[in-house]
Amino acid sequence: MYMSFFSSFGWIAISFLFFTALVAVVAAWKTRGDNLDTAEGYFLAGRGLPGVVIAGSLLLTNLSAEQLVGTNGQGWGSNMSPIGWEVGSLFTLFALAYFFLPTYLKMGTTTMPQLMEARFGRKTRTMFSLVIVIMYSILNLPVILYSGSLVFENIFNLSGLLGITKFQSICVLCIAISVVGSIYAIFGGLKAVDNFNVTIGRTEISGLIGPNGAGKTTVFNLLTKVYQPTHGTILLNGKDIHDLSTAQVNRAGIARTFQNIRLFGELSVEDNITVAMDNQMHYTMPEGIFRLPRFWKEERVMHERAMELLSIFHMEHLAGAKASSLPYGAQRRLEILRALATNPSLLLLDEPAAGMNPSETAELMENILSIRDTFHIAVLLIEHDMNLVMNICEGIAVLNFGRIIAKGTPEDIQNNPEVIEAYLGRKKEA
């Protein structure tokens, strides 16, 4: 009896470990040349797998014991009606992807909490997130843990092995699965940016460079609270801004441009700048509605300020033009001016020279230096044009796979072997 039990348990355990190890070995071999430290590498296998495989991976990632055991068990014990929900969800997902997903992506939202914040504010996002976490913890998580524990109990007969009741065995398994899952969530998984540490002087021009997908724009999104960092501290003038919203971070003194231009295309050039000054105006709502004297005074101030900013790039004559009608380079410059209109102490420039010809880039270089000296602000820029970076940046940080591999002066970076290997490239021998 004992030998029979041990024999069956042993074969089950061996087969379980064998196939688990087989999957790990095959996966490691298949992805041996892939960069899994980036989002593209982790989720899309470096775009080296066909769409069917990627879709299957996403499908199986969403499945758990709740579906594989719980739903099937309900169907066997009662009827097939519980499976109707899973089948019906297919059409919902198609509708979501076709009709709603493009709108969400245009808004820059990828999660429901982000959508709540964009539409209704940060307080609504917090309340929504709290309700979701509580409901998930009460309704969904116990079912998943129980059904998964039930599977392991039936396979390995843990209660018979340890001499405990089936209920006690399931409780032990629930705790074990929870602990393992928590450890993986905290210490494992994909880290877009890891151990990033940079200090920028009050009037310093710094550069952040690295290969595509290294995490540079993600750093900007973290600094401006588009993404919430899971760990770490962000200090602005010695003040921790970790708990601030995106709008509050801007008011605190951080402004940015975007890799993909995000102007208000239907508004005029001047209006694109004055809209950024809204939080600096002091007239009340009644004064604005009834066009009282203080409203007109503030409007004149905004107009003069907008024209002053436009003069930096010699764009005063374009003040009345529609923003979408501007050439690409002019749109880039307008984004910088709109960011400056918020009176930042730190200006983040995400590839400001992208799409510019050499003469425009040279002019941009002079203008960035002029902006730093005129407004006495710090500038952090992401840029692939090494001529621009090496000529205006006082300090440079190099990012690769979400980690800083080098920091220093332009000369230090140019002579760093690791940076040369990862990004700058080796010079061809004659």
Q: Which domains does the chain have, with CATH numbers?
A: 205-424 (3.40.50.300)
What pLDDT, on the 0 to 100 scale, is given for residue 430?
41
Q: 24: how many CB neighbours lie within 10 A of its CB? A: 10
Q: Are 232 and 196 in contact (CB under 8 A)?
A: yes
What pLDDT, on the 0 to 100 scale, is given for residue 418?
86
Mean pLDDT to the nearest integer, 35-64: 61
> Among 87-101, 205-219, 378-392, which stretch is predicted with the lowest mean pLDDT?
87-101
Q: How would residue 289 be classed by pLDDT, with cut points 50, 70 and 90?
A: confident
- How many angstroms separate the CA atoms of 62 and 20, rounded? 19
Mean pLDDT to the nearest integer, 323-334: 92
Q: How would residue 186 be classed by pLDDT, with cut points 50, 70 and 90?
A: low
Q: How would residue 425 be classed by pLDDT, with cut points 50, 70 and 90?
A: low
How is residue 293 written in tokens? 């004297």
Q: How would residue 1 be classed by pLDDT, with cut points 50, 70 and 90?
A: very low
3-state secondary structure at position 410: helix
User: Is pLDDT above 80 for 58?
Assistant: no
Q: Which pTM value belongs to this model?
A: 0.62
Residues 6+ apart with CB under 8 A from 280: 343
What pLDDT, on the 0 to 100 scale, is given for residue 14?
75
How do the residues of the chain divide into helix, strand and coil, expressed in percent and rounded to 5?
65, 10, 30
319 or 177: which leads in pLDDT: 319
Residues 6+ apart with CB under 8 A from 381: 205, 206, 207, 208, 348, 349, 350, 352, 368, 389, 393
User: Is pLDDT above 70 for 149?
Assistant: yes
The secondary structure of 239-292 as a DSSP string is: EE-TT--HHHHHHHTEEE--SS----TTSBHHHHHHGGGGGG----HHHHHTT-
User: Is pLDDT above 50 for 260?
Assistant: yes
Total residues belonging to the chain:
430
- How many angstroms separate the CA atoms of 256 and 222, rounded? 12
Single out the residue of 63, 29, 34, 60 nearest to residue 47, CA to CA: 34
Count H helices and E strands in the chain, helices first: 22, 8
What pLDDT, on the 0 to 100 scale, is given for residue 13?
66
324 or 62: which leads in pLDDT: 324
